[in-house]
Chain A
Amino acid sequence: MKRELWYSAVVRDPNGKVIARERRKSRSFLRQWNDIIRSQVTGATGYIKRIDADVVKGIAPEGQNIKMTSAGGIETSQSIVVGSGDTAVTISDYYVETVIAHGAGAGELNYQAATVNDSVVSAPNCGFVVERAFINDSGGDVTVREMAICVRMKGETYFGYACIARDVLGAPQVIPNGGSLSTAYTLRVTA
């Protein structure tokens, strides 16, 4: 009767040993998910708030809507994104609270390519998994407190990015220098 969203986060030390893991039902799709779904389902243009807080360019039915794959140069705009904020999720959130930048500087993580797996049916469920890893080459610890899914979307003219789900982790995850964080979201429907 519902579409469920689950996430997982696994932290490894520099030797690849798992030092922490978390798997939970996602706190929330955000309103942007319904803004995009509404546009696709109805064929109508509408309102949406992008990750840059722009609310003017809107949303329209478009082939690239919901794109969750990653690409160079937009590491923190599309697919799974992590941050250090821990403010509770609200339906109107439009991005992570404090994004962790892509890179090897202090407090940064190297965002790896994301994978969007095929849908798999295992009655009564049908779901698919989006995965992304982050490597800490910063020289110090990096603490992740939140994660989100951002997707490519388009208004009548302009492409952009919107955040469709956000979670505050159950516990802050400290990624040691040389270690990594592997994340996954599962989007599933159940009959």
Chain B
Amino acid sequence: MKREKSTLVKPHNEVLSYLVEVTDKEGHVIKRIEAPSKSFVRQWNQVVNIQAKQLASTLTDTGGVGRSISVVSVNLLIQAGAGVTNYGIRVGKGSTAVTINDYALETPLAEGAGADQLNHVAGTYTGVAINGSDASFNIKRSMINNSGSTISGINEIGAYMRMGSYYGLAFRDVLGGAVSVPDGGAITITYTIKVSA
């Protein structure tokens, strides 16, 4: 098993980190990357702001279009069902560095069993756990390669969220190196959101 691990920063305030695991068709872990997330992006803060002030604002959706986003119960929702890619954890082939103005993955992989497509499994999540001065929870999603060939060049991961009737990028990361998922294998992304006192 090839293992990469970056130094996790000491938590301050609300910190995001990720774990990437690639498994072969037998379920063996063949690659594991754990690192602090590069970034929440602007839409995350802007949706929190909409909730905080209880007023609509215009935000950029994942298609790059400005949308008026209202105060609704589904704002910030990332947990998505099987096959859903409008929101939920996603992976892609883009490698351009993250900026605060990113509004989508650069080259997201589509749902399906064709070339360079993945079958997106329903997301899962944990409850909030207290560990010393930390309070954290995980969101997780697996994507299975049923394309018939290895999918290589996966460089980016992230999460799309609901913004009213639209969808926005919540956070995005570019991996330290490209990841390949063998045919019949899977890639699983776990994001941890943690606050520390």
Bound Cα distance from A112 to B42, whole angstroms: 30
In chain B, positions 100-158 with a C-beta closer than 8 Å to chain A are 100-102, 125, 127-128, 130, 132-137, 139
Chain A 160-191 per-residue mask, 1 if CB under 8 angstroms from chain B, else 0: 00000000000000000000000000011111
A57 in contact (CB, < 8 A):
no
B29 in contact (CB, < 8 A):
no
CB neighbours (8 Å) of B54 from chain A are 64, 67, 69
A65 in contact (CB, < 8 A):
yes
B73 in contact (CB, < 8 A):
yes
In chain A, positions 5-45 with a C-beta closer than 8 Å to chain B are 5, 25-31, 33-35, 37-38, 40-44
B38/A41 in contact, CB under 8 A:
no
Bound Cα distance from A42 to B135, whole angstroms: 16
A2-B197 contact given A34-B136, A116-B52, A130-B52, CB 8 Å threshold: no
Bound Cα distance from A184 to B194, whole angstroms: 23
Chain B 1-43 per-residue mask, 1 if CB under 8 angstroms from chain A, else 0: 0000000010011111000000000000000000011111110
8 Å CB contact of A33 from B71, B132, B195: B195
B77 in contact (CB, < 8 A):
yes
How far does the Cβ of A72 sit from chain B's closest Cβ, in whole Å? 16
CB neighbours (8 Å) of A3 from chain B are 13-15, 40, 44-45
CB neighbours (8 Å) of A62 from chain B are 73
B130/A31 in contact, CB under 8 A:
yes
8 Å CB contact of B37 from A1, A40, A119, A125: A1
Interface size (B, Cβ < 8 Å)?
54
A126-B46 contact given A28-B195, A91-B135, CB 8 Å threshold: yes
A101 in contact (CB, < 8 A):
no
A126/B57 in contact, CB under 8 A:
no
How far does the Cβ of B49 sit from chain A's closest Cβ, in whole Å? 4
B51/A65 in contact, CB under 8 A:
yes
Chain A contact patch, size range: 35 or more
A127/B45 in contact, CB under 8 A:
yes
A41/B195 in contact, CB under 8 A:
no
A74 in contact (CB, < 8 A):
no
CB neighbours (8 Å) of B181 from chain A are none
B45/A126 in contact, CB under 8 A:
yes
In chain A, positions 41-85 with a C-beta closer than 8 Å to chain B are 41-44, 46-47, 61-69
Bound Cα distance from A62 to B77, whole angstroms: 11
How far does the Cβ of B46 sit from chain A's closest Cβ, in whole Å? 5
8 Å CB contact of A37 from B9, B76, B101: B76
B99 in contact (CB, < 8 A):
yes
B42/A119 in contact, CB under 8 A:
yes
8 Å CB contact of A118 from B44, B57, B139, B196: B57
How far does the Cβ of B156 sit from chain A's closest Cβ, in whole Å? 14
A4 in contact (CB, < 8 A):
yes
8 Å CB contact of B195 from A29, A63, A66: A29
B178 in contact (CB, < 8 A):
no
A43/B45 in contact, CB under 8 A:
no
Most A CB within 10 A of own CB, among B36, B54, B74:
B54
A30/B195 in contact, CB under 8 A:
yes
A27/B197 in contact, CB under 8 A:
yes
Interface residues of B (CB under 8 A from A): 9, 12-16, 36-42, 44-46, 48-49, 51-54, 57, 71-79, 98-102, 125, 127-128, 130, 132-137, 139, 161, 193-197
Known: A43-B77, A191-B41. 4 other contacts (CB 8 A): A28-B195, A41-B77, A69-B53, A91-B134
A-B CB contact pairs (8 Å), 17 listed: A1-B16, A4-B12, A27-B197, A34-B135, A34-B195, A43-B77, A44-B125, A63-B73, A66-B48, A66-B52, A67-B52, A89-B197, A116-B52, A119-B57, A121-B42, A126-B45, A128-B49
